[in-house]
Amino acid sequence: MKKNSKIILLILSLCIITFSYYNKEFNTLLNEQNFISKKTDNMTIKEEVKTVNSVSTTDINKYEGVYRYKNRHDTEDHYIVLEYVNGILQGRYYGTSDDFDDAREGYYVGFFVSDIKDLQIEGNAITFKLQLQDRDVFTKPIDLIYKSSQDIPLDKNPNWNIGLRKFSRDYKGEIINGEIQLETEFEKRVFKKLMTSRKY
């Protein structure tokens, strides 16, 4: 009888130890799940506020300004690319030589990509400057994969040989409902958000 009591007592002890172990493991797992859930919620909140003046601080923002006289043969659309690099807003402008000319006089337009200088966005207002040299202008439209004139292969896209009339230009406009609207002496140029792409 004493032997049976010892066996029963041993079994009960093993059951208690086993239950305590698994209960501890379960509570640890539950706490980890709660931590992950809270972390995910915080990441979601942060992701929602990573926008300044409709410009995402985590993505590459691309805007397209459609040429107003566009037909199926035209490729003279303009593009603005904005992105934050090390917390600083930077940009590139893809455009045509018409912006640096008084009037086109029977020759084909040239194409350029240029870093945006003195970029300022205050409230809805946006201002910036472009500066070009003749070597920065090419005969064909420039793909957005190229970030500067130095990146463009001359065997595929030779330099434009007409020559610029002006070498600097100031731009101003507004950002309204995610669109960039620039006022120029030629037209009101509206750039619609084309897409955003992740940096990483």
* pLDDT tens per residue, range 72-131: 445 789 999 999 888 889 999 999 999 998 776 778 899 999 999 999 999 899 999 999
Specify the pLDDT at position 43. 34
**H helices of the chain, where?**
2-49
Query: Do 160 and 111 meet the contact criterion of CB atoms below 8 Å apart?
Result: yes
Amino acid at site 181: Q
Angstrom distance (rounded) from CA 94 to CA 72: 20
Q: Let me know if 43 is exposed, middle or buried by CB neighbors in 10 A (0-12, 13-18, 19+).
A: exposed
Amino acid at site 133: Q
CA 16 vs CA 2, 9, 60, 127, 159: distances in Å: 21, 11, 58, 73, 83
CB proximity list for 24: less than 8 A, separation 6 or greater? none
Least confident window among 66-70, 135-139, 188-192? 66-70
Read off the pLDDT of residues 134-156 as tens digits, 9 standing for 90 and up. Answer: 999 999 999 999 999 999 999 99
Kindly list the domain boundaries of the chain, sorted by start residue.
1-49, 53-198
Specify the pLDDT at position 199. 44
Query: Given pLDDT bands bounded at 50, 70 and 90, which one contains residue 40?
Result: very low
Read off the pLDDT of residues 149-178 as tens digits, 9 standing for 90 and up. Answer: 999 999 999 999 999 999 999 999 999 988
